[in-house]
Amino acid sequence: MILPAIHTLTFIFVTLVVSTERAVTCDDRFNVQRLSCDHGVISVQSALYGRADRETCSEGRPQQQLENTECSQRGTVDVLKMRCDGMKVCEINTNLVRTSDPCFGTYKYLETNYTCFPAIHTVACEQSLAQLYCDAGQVIFVYGAHYGRLDRTTCSYKRPDSQTENVYCSNPSPKVAQSCNGKNSCTVTASNSVFGDPCVGTYKYLEVSYVCECK
């Protein structure tokens, strides 16, 4: 007698949960768009400064300011990526993207889609060392590095307001990638002598995000 074999089939569902976050900021002189990741670091996917529909930021606006839905400024995504990729929190004043007027008379907004990318994130205050390291057999790949100041709280302990109030000191730097990529560990000094001084008088920090890859 042959018994039917009973197979237990195990289904394994592997779901990669990378949710896309979306930030919309209506165009006003003092508006600031804030992107943030609780886990991982920001990876900007797309950004629009202009208008792509009639609904977004339409409250209290006359029809003629909403009609043009094919308005977008070129290069916006690059500005966002340059400033925000690799950061945990990033604030961007709409002034920084308003470099020209892509559609005069249309009321515009800044819309950014981003994901939170799993990466190791480290901050070194000015004059201290950023230490990057991976497990044995793995090497560093730098995803983003900024030397400057993008918020008031990071590296602010016992610092006078005058040294922390400039939060528009953004200076993305390729230097960390140049000296650390492909190494198992790496040390970089957060100092003007390495990065230059992007904002004299401001107390700065080096913010680095990186991943460890198999060789």
Chain contacts with ligand NAG (rule: CB under 6 A): 22, 46-48, 111, 113
Q: Nearer Cβ to ligand NAG, position 72 or 173?
A: 72
CB of 61 to ligand NAG, least distance (A): 19
Q: Which residue is nearest to ligand NAG (CB)?
A: 46
Nearest to 102 by CA among 64, 49, 28: 49
Cα 83–Cα 85–Cα 89 angle in degrees, nearest 5: 80
Q: Nearer Cβ to ligand NAG, position 69 or 181?
A: 69
Placement of tokens 């992007």 in the chain: 198
Q: Nearer Cβ to ligand NAG, position 56 or 191?
A: 56
Q: Are 86 and 145 in contact (CB under 8 A)?
A: yes
Which two structure tokens, joined as six digits, stand for 105? 């008379």
CB of 72 to ligand NAG, least distance (A): 8
Q: Are 107 and 27 in contact (CB under 8 A)?
A: yes
CB of 86 to ligand NAG, least distance (A): 20
Which two structure tokens, joined as six digits, stand for 113? 């889609």
Which two structure tokens, joined as six digits, stand for 51? 């208008």
d(CA 138, CA 185): 9
CB of 21 to ligand NAG, least distance (A): 10
Q: Nearer Cβ to ligand NAG, position 111 or 126?
A: 111
CB of 92 to ligand NAG, least distance (A): 14
Q: Nearer Cβ to ligand NAG, position 106 or 166?
A: 106
Q: Are 107 and 66 in contact (CB under 8 A)?
A: yes
Q: Nearer Cβ to ligand NAG, position 23 or 211?
A: 23
| Ramachandran bin of 164, using left for φ above 0, alpha for ψ from -120 to 50, beta for the remaining angles | alpha
Q: Hey, how many other C-beta atoms are within 10 angstroms of the C-beta on 22?
A: 12
CB of 47 to ligand NAG, least distance (A): 6
